Amino acid sequence: MRVKVMSRADVEAGGAEGADAVISIRSPTTGPEPELRAALAQATQGESARLLRLVHDDVGLTSYGDTVAPTMEQVQDAIDFGRTIVDGRCLFDGPSADPVIVVHCEMGRSRSSAIALALLADHHGAGHERDAVNALLRADIEGRMHPNPITILHADAYLLRCGRLDAALAELSPRYVLWRRYWTQAALDPIGHAQLQARIRYRRKQRSG
C-alpha cells in the first residue's frame, strides 16, 4: 500500500486521479467547495465506497474553543477504510497489487499526514513504527508535514502501540516535535491560547485586507 498526502489545491488540480481511494479531511465550517467535490468525483469515478470524508479541525487538544478535534472514531474509520482498500472489498475490479490511497486536508501538512501515518502504521504492523514514519517522511519532499498530535495519540491507542508511534515520529521528525510542543503549551491555558490565536488571525486579516 502507498499513501500520498496532498493539499486541497493538489486534489483540485487532479493530483488524486488514478488513486484507488481518497480520504478527504475538511473543517466543519468549510463551505460547499464545488471544485473539490468535482475533483473527488473524478478521482473516485463516482464510487462512494472509494471516498471517506472526515470532518474536524487541525487542533491538538480534545477541547479548544469552538473547534472540533479529531476523534478516536475517526481514526478507526480511516484505518478500517484503508483495510477495505487493501483487500479490495470496496473495489469493483478487485484488490490492486499496490493500492494507492490519497489523504488530503487544506494544506497537506497536519491532519492529512497524521491520518496517512495511521494507515502506514497499520499496514507495516506492530514493531515497525519507524518504518511507517520513514515511509511518510520519504514522500515529504517539501518538508512541510507535521502530523496532528491528537490523531497520532488516537492511532497509537487504537493500534495498541503503547506510544511507540508517537516516539518514532518524535525521533525522526523535528517538525512534529515543535508542533507537539506548541499544543503542549496551549494545554496549559487553552482558553487564553485560543483567544490569543484569534487576535493574531484578526490582525493578519486586517493587514492583508
Report the 3 state secondary structure along 142-190.
CCCCCCCHHHHHHHHHHCCCCCHHHHHHHHHCHHHHHHHHHHHHHHHCH
Cβ atoms of residues 190 and 61 within 8 Å: yes
Helix (H/G/I), strand (E/B), else coil: 16: coil
- Domain count of the chain? 1
Which CATH number covers residue 169? Answer: 3.90.190.10
For residue 209, the model assigns a pLDDT of 64
| pLDDT, tens digit only, all 209 positions of the chain | 999 999 999 999 999 999 999 999 999 999 999 999 999 999 999 999 999 999 999 999 998 888 999 999 999 999 999 999 998 865 556 556 789 999 999 999 999 999 999 999 999 999 999 999 999 999 999 999 999 999 999 999 999 999 999 999 999 999 999 999 999 999 999 888 888 888 888 888 888 76
For residue 93, the model assigns a pLDDT of 60
Element spanning 81, H or E = helix 72-86
Q: How many CA atoms lie within 13 A of 114 on its CB side?
A: 34
Burial environment of residue 105 by CB neighbours within 10 A (0 to 12, 13 to 18, 19 or more): buried
Single pTM value for the model: 0.92
For residue 95, the model assigns a pLDDT of 59
For residue 96, the model assigns a pLDDT of 66
Strand segments (E) across the chain: 2-6, 21-26, 51-55, 100-104
CA quadruple 12, 17, 19, 21: dihedral positive or negative?
Answer: positive
Give the domain extent around 74.
Answer: 2-208
